[in-house]
Structure 1
């Protein structure tokens, strides 16, 4: 029996396939590389500079050109032993939990409403939410200041129309409870459209066959929502909760403008305005950098569970 060697054309045909396979595996990394480099340059340098500044002390002399002195961990120890810092931290965490929870719940409710109504009502809701979401923060706060203003505000005027109620001159930004209630309402109002539209996009991907099968098995509307719809869109809800927690923990512009509208000043600080006051208001840039790093650690700790859940979903 004569054994013939493999034809050269067969070997040539298989070789490019292996090379092509290697190129295909490298291609995603090459495409991601520019974004990773831009991220490292754009965020890595400011982060390193922030850490570097958190170990230095800035005082009156530094405002006249003197070189900042290294104090190492003194800024962190000063913050961690300061009762006001812990008050602001706890207040910010409570504010974050309340505001993020209300935003997600209302967003899910609005998404379910959009799913239930007809096309015309759905388009009207979507346009209204997009307009609210796209409004600049300064424009939002101008409108809200007109609503809650103590002398000529719309809220006080309407409440005073009730029998036996006189709210003319009532300052909503004087009491801490009403101040943060107004702040939470503003942030929830501006954040619900993003959550609602994201959840609605996820609801459109839930298979009608699955819901029909559940209905045939006798599942009620609430059972279908709890056991079928929400578990299917759980990855979307996880990332929305994570993003909302991060945004609400470091909220700044709304609180700063509300403090300017009211008479309480910086008495009702959250972490964003507290750090801004340390750096810009008091020129304690080292303390402000250390506080910013502590907030970053808190954010990472709060996000760890949700990031772990996202990784499980990916795997």
Structure 2
């Protein structure tokens, strides 16, 4: 597995701390010197800084910044304040991430989509990814390794063959490996699903439920609920693999919490499940995302729950 993620998260934390310090005291030459020194430590430091600066709306050129005329004496900037300030500077699609998965997701992702948005991505190795709504990918390709991290949401991948270098996709606790072919993978909270349209996908995990690696062939699907350790398996027609590309979700014994999160990628604003019991119920069905609000109502109905639209930014799922 790729061990770069923990280091990247550490660098992100450091960059955010430096940005907060600079925002709190923009005239402090010592902080500016620390930022310049930190950015010069490696290409990774500079890349992370540019991501954080872009999200925050800063220019990234700290040394050339003019001194402000007045300083806010009582400014108490926290990470939350930083995120709110950042949200005001980014577009509508990205704002959802700041108030959902948060700033780290924004900074880690190479590719993002907003609510209801699809995106076709041609990768450097010749592979192609279709990124589903409100989804995020981070890509790490080298001469002899190909790794993608599905940070949130869903993607359908056509894998270009490259001898000796399978494509690895990390999603939650699972790692999927494929040398060629096509497969779908989604990550909704603690719930990960994989379905194979063509070729072969090998799944592995450090979780104890995966004592042996799983091999999936054409038509096979597997789901893993990290919160409960439950593993589901089955087969379906090829044209039903990655059916979300046709605005259709097929659920087979899935937790309501994961299903609501997935359907919510088509619904503006945030969805809140008021009662944890509702989210823990398992349901099956086919849900039409051309009418996502009705799909959400159908998904929570077996859990004796109702859906209320509080505003364009908030939908509540609560007991009947």
- Does TM, normalized by the shorter one, top 0.5? no
For Structure 1 versus Structure 2, the TM-score category normalised by the shorter chain is under 0.3
More helix by share: 1
- Structure number with greater Rg is 1
- TM-score, with structure 1 as normaliser: 0.20
- TM-score, with structure 2 as normaliser: 0.20
